[in-house]
Structure formats: C-alpha cells, structure tokens
Chains A and B, each alone.
Chain A
Amino acid sequence: MTTESIARTIRDASAARTPLRVCGRSTWLDAGRPVRAKQTLSLQGDNGVVSYVPGDLTLTVRAGTSLAEIERATAEHDQWLPLDPYGSSDGTIGATVSTASAGPLASGFGLPRDLVLGMEFVSGRGEVIRCGGKVVKNVAGFDLTRLLTGSWGTLGVITEVTLRLYARPKVDRTFVVKLSGNGRDAAFLGGFLAARLGPFAFEVFSATAVRLLGLGDRAVCLIRFGGNEAGVAGQLAALTALATPEEVDANLWTRVRQLERDADCVIRISGPPSAFADGLDDILGDDIPSTMTWMSPVRGLVRLVVRKSSGPNAVSDVIIGNESGGDHSGHVICEKLPTEVWRQVPSAVSDPLSQRIKRVFDSNDLLNPGILG
C-alpha cells in the first residue's frame, strides 16, 4: 500500500460521498464515539521503517507500523520510543499519534505531540500533505503536525510519521510503594513530587487495580527510574528517605497497560496536580469492585475504568458530576463509553474555530464522521 493508493481511495470515497472508518490494526475500535461509516480504510498493510539513522535519534516509519515493530527496530541500537499507550504494542504508530494516546511514560517523556517531528497525511480531499520534518527542531511553516496529532483521523489520514527517539537508559528499575490508606499518603505523594526526582513513570493505583496486578490489596504507587547507575541509585536513596520501596519486575508495566482490557468505559479526568493530591483519599477510597482508578500525579490525570458489571449510570454520574463543576476545574476526556452515554457528552470540537479547521481539511465530513462528536 502506498500513499498514492490511500489518496486514491479517499478521492474515490469523496466522489461517491462514502464516509470512511480509518483504522490501523483495529485493536481499539471501541474507543471514541460511534462512527457513521460503513467502508473501512485500514492502514495495517502500510508498514515498515522508511529511514532510521541511529546517530540522529530519529525514525521515520509508515503509519501502519506497530509499536512492537518500532520497539524491535530501535532496540537493536539500544534506543527506544518512550511511548506506551494503554492496550498493547500491537497497535500502530499511526493510530497512536492520531488519537494522541500515551501511557505511564508520558510523565517522563511527554505526550505524542512532544515526540512527533513530522508526518505525511492525506486530507479528506485526497491531497497528500507533508509537514514538519526529520530534524529534532523545526519551526518552518504552520504546525500541521501538532494539529493532526490527536485529531482522531478527522482532518486527515496519517500515512507516515517521523519520531524522536531516546537512548535506552543503562539502568531501568521499577519500585512499588504500598500506601497506608490513611492521611499520610498525601504527604508521601507531596514529598515525592517536591523531591523532583524526574521519574520515567509515576502512577498511583486503587486497590481494585492492585488486585488485578497481583500486588496485594492495598493502593500502591509504581515508580520507574532510569538513567545511569549512579543517578538511579541517587533517585532510589531519595525515595527510600520518604517510603519503603520494593523493587518489582519492569514487565509489570506491560500488565498495567492491559488493565483496561475488559473495560467498557474508560475516562480520563484531568486537572491541576494539586487538586488530585488534595482529593487523594476520595480517589483511592471510592473503590467499588467494578471500578478502577489510577492516577498520574505528574500529568494531573486520573484514569477511571468501569468494567462491564457496573452499568452505565455509574459512568454518566461521573461525567455529569465533573462537567457540572465538581470540585476541580479540569476536563473529562472520554475514551470508551456505551453508545447511550456518549449522547450526553459534549463534543470537544464544536467550537467555531475547530469547525472551520475541519472544513479546511475534510469539508465533506468523510473521515471518521462522528468520532469526536
């Protein structure tokens, strides 16, 4: 599959006014609102490394390349793309960038918008557009790369991505700190953040999630440190001054990414990190069996996962409660919801500016219609 054949498919669909469901390896089709399209445009067959110069720490791949393939290619040179979205590494880089999906490593390395250097995409008109570049710093032209990242395929179909890589750290260790369930947890969290140790990842899990991870039945923190040996030893010493960490196998992160596998509702609640520190006991204490929460204190994000048995009401209560103010001023971002609940969620792209942008790139509403509302 080539860019030109994708462009032709889009032009044909445009001529026939046939909306397209754009997907990668179809591992996460239940995310986003229901799409009003019958024809599928899969990028799965369009994969592989286009160029990779390890000394430049940049990698260009076709959009259908899976994260696992990127892991393999970069590991040969002791490098990695520090991007670990929830689910698994079976998904494609195109889908990951399109949905701006990120996981625990975002605390240390940022979001897809911070890792993507450039791309090629095909607009809803079937035009091939290249933006950004292959160098690590670039301000030439208006930033279509950022605009397409996280646009869920509604502005264009990403066909190729250039990414910033990092060297694999010499040392990469993961520690668990068991929380006490009393008022001291907030103090530990505050102390850890104030110590500014720069962890690769730092997540706090509610008891339900902890049970699924096989780490006991009390809320825990998972902390990932990386760097040279002396640096990680220093980080660990600082952590040990605040708590009693136990080392765990780094493969645990793979299981963390799979925690929401059976979920039918996944919601992110964002806000200023301090708002979550203040409400820590509520977030972790309100732990009903069908609901799991975990939190990325560095990002100011709570991930709320509701599993099948709880019914839609629990979910809509959370969304409505937060949209109508709650006690923080952040945002509710829905990833997966039952169809009937989606109807209650306001669109994130209904503002006039977003609508004008949509018309520029996909005036016929051909690409993933309805997925963002």
Chain B
Amino acid sequence: MQKPPVAERLADIVGEKHVLSRQSELLVYNSDGLPGYRRQPRLAVFPGTREETIKVVRVLAADGLPFVPRGAGTGLSGGALADDVVLLGLHRLKKIISLDVANMRATVEPGVVNLRLNRHVAPHGLLYAPDPSSEAACTIGGNVAENAGGPHCLKYGVTLNHVLAITALLPDGEVVELGSATGERDGYDLRGAFIGSEGCFGVALDVTVKLTPRPETVRTLLADFMSVDEAARVTSAVIASGIVPAALEFMDGPTIRVVEDSVYAAGYPRDAEAILLIELDGLRAGVDADLETVRAICLGGGARAVKVAKDDAERMKLWQGRKKAFGAMGRLAPHLIVQDAVIPRTQLPAILKRIHAISEKYGVVVCNVFHAGDGNLHPNIAYSADDPAESERVHKAMTEIMTACIEVGGSITGEHGVGLDKMGYMESIFTANSLNAMCELRGAFDPDRRSNPGKVVPIHSCREWHGVASARAPRPLSAEPSHPAVA
C-alpha cells in the first residue's frame, strides 16, 4: 500500500521505521491508560531528536494537519488519543541534557522517564518530587502536559511547582522559551500557563526542573481501621493538626484485598476496612516528634494498629502495594474506570459514605485508593466494557459520584487531566465566559487548534472558533457506551 505523501515527507525527516501508517501497526496506539476508550490514529511519527521534532511539526503546520502529542501513553483521561489524525510520539527524545547539582536543577528532553530522572539524580542526594504512580513509565513531557501529581505532592507540590523553564515548540513551528532556567523573571507566567495544557499549546522540547534535597529521615506508617469513616476522620484530623505529611494515602477494604491477592502484596491486613499510609520526612528530630503526634491521632481515632516501617525495604514494600494498586485491579476485570475528583478535605467522611451508597444503588464494587491528604479521590471500578448492561451501571455510578464531588465544592480532576474523559463535566464547574477565555488562551498558542484537537474544553464553548471543527474534532465519546461524562 502506498503511503500518503505526508508520510513520505515525515519519513525523510525521522527515517522510515519511525513513521507508522499501517492499521495493524497503529493498533497499539489506539488507547492510553484508560483502556475503555479507543481511537485509531491515521499516522504515527516518532522523531528522535529536537531538530527532527521541529521539522516534523513544521511539515504538519505547512499542511494544516492536526496532531496529538504523546509521551508514554500512561495518561488516564483519554488525552493522548488521536482520532484519525497524526500521533506525534515523543518518547525517543530521552536525553538528560544537563544536571546542575549545586543549583539543584536538571534539564531533560520530554521523553525522559520520571523514574529515570530520579535514579539519575539520586547519587547526588537529590530527587525530583512529583511522583505519579506511573513513574516507572511516564515521561517528563507528559507530566508537564498533565501537570502530574503523585502521593508526595501533598508536601512538595505538583509539576507546576517544580518546573523552572520549558523550551516549547508551538504548533506553527515557532520555538519559544517559557520561564527561565537561570532565575526568576518578570513578564507573564507563560510556563505556568503551558503546564497542564494537555498538549493543546504545543510540545515541550526540553524541560528544566527544580530538584529537591533528599530528606534526612523518612518514616512511613501504616494505620489500619475497621471502618472507612474512622479512617476518613483521622485523615481530616491529621491535616487539621497542621502537620504536613510527605504523603497521606488511603486504601479501602476492597482495594486492600485485590492488592493482597496480587503479585504486589504488601502485607496489608486483609480484614481491615481501610488503611492509611502516612509518610513523614525531614530532619530526624522533627520527624520523630511528628510521628508520635500522628500515631496518637490514628490510635485516638480508632486505628486498630499503627505499624511503622522499620527499614527502607519495608517502606518500599508498603509503597509498592499502593503504587501498583491500579495494576492489581487488572485481576478483577479487563477494563478499569478511574476518577480523579478533588474535594475539600473536611468533606472526606461525607463523600466516602456517599460513594458507598452510590455503589450499592448500582450494584457495582467501587475501590477507593487515593491521595487523602489532598482530598484527591480515585474511585475506580473494574468492569467489562464489552458487557453493555454492566457498562451502563458503571457509568451511571461514576457520573453520580462526580456530581456529588462537584456539589461539595470539588474539582473534576486533580492530576489526571480533562482530556476527552472529563470534557462533559467542564460546564458543570466553569461558566461560559471562563471556558471561552480558556479557548482563547489556547488560540494565543495555537490559533488553528491543531495541537490535540477537541480536548479539554468543549468546542462549542469557543465563541470565536469558526474553523472546520467537523473535520478536526474527534467523534464525541457519547457515541460509545463506555463514556461516563456525556449522559
């Protein structure tokens, strides 16, 4: 079969084997970390260098072709799905360009895997703080696009707080410097605007991140409860105490048992209805004192036991179960749906009760494993997208859970991004003016809306947009039985 001309021109830039256009080859790129959604790209191109990336984007710009940037494809919002358009894979740009130990910063290409950066800087007593659970696979470019978080963002902040500068390639091929790698600067915070723009503002060619000193001491404790409500109340009490743990994670009974049945078994008590995994770090003397305070709050709040990891090996084991929990869900069913709402932290006990009631109403098992300290929920349901009746119940339950979170003043996403998955909820939390302002901001970076078209902000919210939307926007997900957002 003859390649279309653009594929040939792209192959001239990146080499033939880095351009895929056969349907069978493209199959593996038809979903991201939410396997319930599938979209097939028309073409996929994988530049290997910064220069190749610039040339590729300029060819696409010259032809007016939309494209979808993609890192490792671990995203959980359908944000990296390319619906019959070009998929621009950036995982081959994986050079760690520089490491400045004295000033605690590093400059990397977008395809560098998060954990690889951390391993690279660890010998210098440093770490890169944002630690999404997909850290072993996800890329820094993807982290920037999604403004990724992770368990330790409770104390250290999200990607936004750790990126100093970005060299960005705008969709028209222009290269711009956002922020500054060398020091604070004035002017508009364009770096801040770019972070979390979900690939709609262009792609990062390099990213300069701030590194954080490894704490002198890290203590991890596991508190287990016979009641979800008690664990939720203890979470609120720890936050209200003013101690800022490095992480405060929550897992409920169903999640504990799935993890314990899997290869990621961490030794969690199988009969518990909830556990809290709380980590404290900093200078030894201060951490030891906080540890006793937290232990007392847990025991006073109904914890059956509080176990403190005695060494790094035990700590890692406790974390392994948490970080691989979504993976463990694969034991239950072929598909997994995960939400990412954030609620005010005092609402935690009430919302968890509500989620339980909703799960009973629809006869589904909701597993809760989440960043409790931030109020960032991840209710998830393992199901089969091939069973229409089950899919319908699952999505009705998820919609009701999201609505409940919005009602208590929450946000629809804390770290996974809007992508396609949550676009249907944008109008429940933002006014028409606010959505239009976001559309227009996007227009300043990408006037033709070619970069990751049809994501984040519903296209009908954009008043000034008179482009050929029908040709470029992905098919609405409402056509699919598995879509939660559009009822």
Contact = CB atoms under 8 A, between A and B. Distances in A.
Contact of B236 (A55, A114, A353): A55
Contacts of A246: none
Contacts of B161: 110, 114
A300 B183 contact: yes
B230 interface: no
B185 A140 contact: no
A142 B190 CA distance: 11
Contacts of B236: 55
Interface stretch (A123-131, A176-184, A214-222, A283-291): A123-131
A81 B364 CA distance: 42
A109 B149 CA distance: 18
Contacts of A353: 170, 176, 190, 444-445
Contacts of B414: 135, 137-139
Nearest to B100: A272
B189 A113 contact: yes
A49 interface: no
A360 interface: yes
A262 interface: no
Contact of A231 (B176, B188, B285, B371): B285
B442 interface: yes
Contacts of B413: 138-140
A312 interface: no
Nearest to A269: B183
A48 interface: no
Given A137-B149, A142-B196, A151-B188, A198 B345 contact: no
B284 A234 contact: yes
A233 B242 CA distance: 19
B434 A129 contact: yes
B183 A141 contact: no
Nearest to B77: A139
Interface centre among B105, B158, B188, B190, by most A CB within 10 Å?
B188
Interface string B224-249: 00000000000010011111100000
Nearest to B240: A55
A58 B105 CA distance: 30
B374 A360 contact: no
A351 to B, nearest CB: 7
A186 interface: no
Interface in B442-465: 442-445, 456-457
Contacts of A13: none
A299 B184 contact: yes
B283 A231 contact: yes
Contact of B193 (A147, A198, A230): A147
Contacts of A143: 147, 160, 192-193, 195-197
Contacts of A228: 286, 289-290, 293
A349 interface: yes
Contacts of A331: 180, 182-186
Contact of A349 (B170, B187, B410): B187
Contact of A356 (B345, B418, B438, B444): B444
A235 B282 CA distance: 11
Interface centre among B103, B239, B417, B437, by most A CB within 10 Å?
B437
A134 interface: yes
Interface centre among A123, A137, A139, by most B CB within 10 Å?
A139
B316 interface: no
Interface in B156-172: 157-158, 160-161, 170
A155 interface: yes
Contacts of B100: 272, 274
Contact of A357 (B242, B422, B444): B444
Contacts of A138: 342, 411, 413-414
A131 B434 contact: yes
A41 interface: no
A188 interface: no
A227 B243 CA distance: 9
A348 B242 contact: no
A144 B287 CA distance: 37
B158 A78 contact: no
B184 A274 contact: no
Contacts of A305: none
Interface in A324-358: 328-331, 333, 348-349, 351-354, 356-357
A315 interface: no
Contacts of A361: 437, 440
Interface string B52-93: 000000000000000000000000000000000000000000
Interface string A105-116: 000001101100
A57 B239 contact: yes
Contacts of B434: 129-131, 141, 144
A129 B187 CA distance: 21
Given A53-B344, A135-B344, A142 B285 contact: no
Nearest to B414: A137
A114 B155 CA distance: 12
B193 A137 contact: no
Contacts of A127: 433, 436-437
A230 B282 CA distance: 12
A4 interface: no
Contacts of B176: 351, 353
Interface in B103-150: 103, 105, 146-147, 149
B186 A142 contact: no
A146 B190 CA distance: 8
Interface centre among A273, A353, A361, by most B CB within 10 Å?
A353
A120 to B, nearest CB: 9
A335 to B, nearest CB: 9
A353 B102 CA distance: 32
Nearest to A155: B188
B283 A235 contact: yes
Contact of B213 (A111, A131, A196): A196
Contacts of A57: 239-240, 345
Interface in B407-430: 409-418, 422, 426, 429-430
Contacts of B186: 150, 331, 333, 348, 372
Contacts of A169: 242
Contacts of B417: 139
Nearest to B441: A142
B185 to A, nearest CB: 4
Given A135-B410, A139-B146, A150-B188, A230 B288 contact: yes
A142 B346 contact: no
Nearest to A130: B434
Given A131-B434, A196-B213, A301-B183, A139 B192 contact: no
A372 B187 contact: yes
B160 A146 contact: yes
A95 to B, nearest CB: 16
Interface of A: 53-58, 78-79, 100, 110-111, 113-114, 123, 127-131, 133-144, 146-147, 149-151, 155, 166-169, 196-198, 227-235, 238, 268, 270-274, 299-301, 328-331, 333, 348-349, 351-354, 356-357, 359-361, 372
Given A133-B409, A137-B415, 4 more contacts: A144-B441, A146-B193, A196-B213, A354-B190
Q: Which 10 A-B residue pairings sit nearest by Cβ, starting from the closest?
A: A231-B286, A167-B242, A146-B192, A270-B183, A348-B187, A234-B285, A330-B183, A356-B444, A196-B213, A55-B346
16 contacts: A56-B346, A57-B240, A79-B242, A113-B192, A128-B433, A138-B413, A139-B146, A142-B456, A143-B147, A146-B193, A166-B242, A166-B244, A272-B100, A329-B182, A331-B183, A348-B187
